[in-house]
Amino acid sequence: MCLLWLCFDLSVCLRGLGVEDGNVTDSMLSASSSQSSHGPNGARLNGGSCWMPSNPLNSWIQVNLGEAKKITGVVIQGCPGADHWVTKFKIQHSMDGSKWTDYKDDGGVFTGCMDRNTPETQLLGTPVSAQYVRILPQEFNGQTGLRFDILGCIPDYAVSCDAKPNFNFANDLMTVHCPAGCAQVLYTVYGSGVYRGDSNICAAGIHAGVILNDIGGDCTMLKEPGQNFYSGSTKNGITSRQYDGNYQISYQFADKGMLDYTNAQTSIKLPKDTNMGFRVAQRSKTLHLSARGVTTDPGSIPGCITTGCDRESHRAAHNWPSVVRVWPSL
């Protein structure tokens, strides 16, 4: 009997970020070069034109999103008036438009279009924080040409690199989204594993290994009692300080309690009316997803993972990995 069914809500952070709908103005689009009638302003998804470089060698098109956003994917199309489209491309991202980082997860090279007009959506297995996103065509049909939009959101829990926890009597847990590059910003961190309550969140998260400096990311803090000693150490490019004295509050990161389901017979027995929330991380294809809930009735719902009798058939059908990590939502 199948005992656990997890269904995904993909709409949480997969909104177009303004290229298609015009919230990104023409001045916020730029390119390495352009043909006279195919400038970057013609590259809007589902628009009537496209961008085509005058020099396709090492060409790129980029968008300034106006502020840092959480980037979860890219959608591209070919040129509507001719058989020109990009078949493979890479992505770079930046916080300032000067220092660029190659997106290297998911193989680093994405599959592009197969025709003029069908949108091709590529989701990022590891979402990044960026204000600027650049698309670099690698291979093409006919000539290099594309339309596009960026997918993502403005996290309502986004913080800056200098943010510190704001725990109170009713709040024992905080989840935040850190931008990239916080190791290069002035920070103060006390402790290792358990951090003094006034330590900068994002630097501590890098130190703890729960986020990466190059791309930022989400981290969840759990409030802990104050300590009378915090040990210093250097990890992941962050040096924390030692503090020998009492402090009223501490925190650590909630990266424990993760369960690995490694075979098709693994199951969890839940009460029939269980309505717990779960999060599922799977990296074979796309991104971190949030599950809407749990039911003991497997039914026939597409886009779900099961643990139990038919989990492997769903894994094979959707090209998911053999190991799926599941842990309670916080």
User: What is the per-residue pLDDT across 223-241, written as a single tens digit (0 to 9) for each?
Assistant: 999 999 999 999 999 999 9
Higher pLDDT, 281 or 78: 78
What pLDDT does residue 67 have?
Answer: 86
What pLDDT does residue 1 have?
Answer: 29
What pLDDT does residue 217 have?
Answer: 83
pLDDT band at 169 (very low <50, low <70, confident <90, very high): low
pLDDT band at 156 (very low <50, low <70, confident <90, very high): low
Residue 292, pLDDT > 70, answer no
CA distances from 213 to 105, 137, 181, 290, 325 (A): 15, 26, 5, 23, 23
> Whole-number mean pLDDT of the chain?
77
| CATH code linked to domain 15-153 | 2.60.120.260
Return the CATH fold of 173-253: Ferric Hydroxamate Uptake Protein; Chain A, domain 1 (2.170.130)
249-276 pLDDT, tens digit each: 999 998 642 222 223 232 323 333 333 2
CA-to-CA distance for 203 and 238, rounded, in angstroms? 7
| CA-based nearest residue to 126, from 215, 230, 30 | 215
pTM, two decimal places: 0.57
Give the least confident one: 142-146, 177-181, 251-255, 301-305: 301-305
Q: Per-domain residue ranges for the chain?
A: 4-9+258-328, 15-153, 173-253
Rg (CA), the chain: 22
Residues 6+ apart with CB under 8 A from 49: 37, 38, 42, 43, 79, 80, 81, 147
pLDDT band at 120 (very low <50, low <70, confident <90, very high): very high
What pLDDT does residue 12 have?
Answer: 58
What pLDDT does residue 215 have?
Answer: 83
Residue 313, pLDDT > 50, answer no
pLDDT band at 180 (very low <50, low <70, confident <90, very high): confident
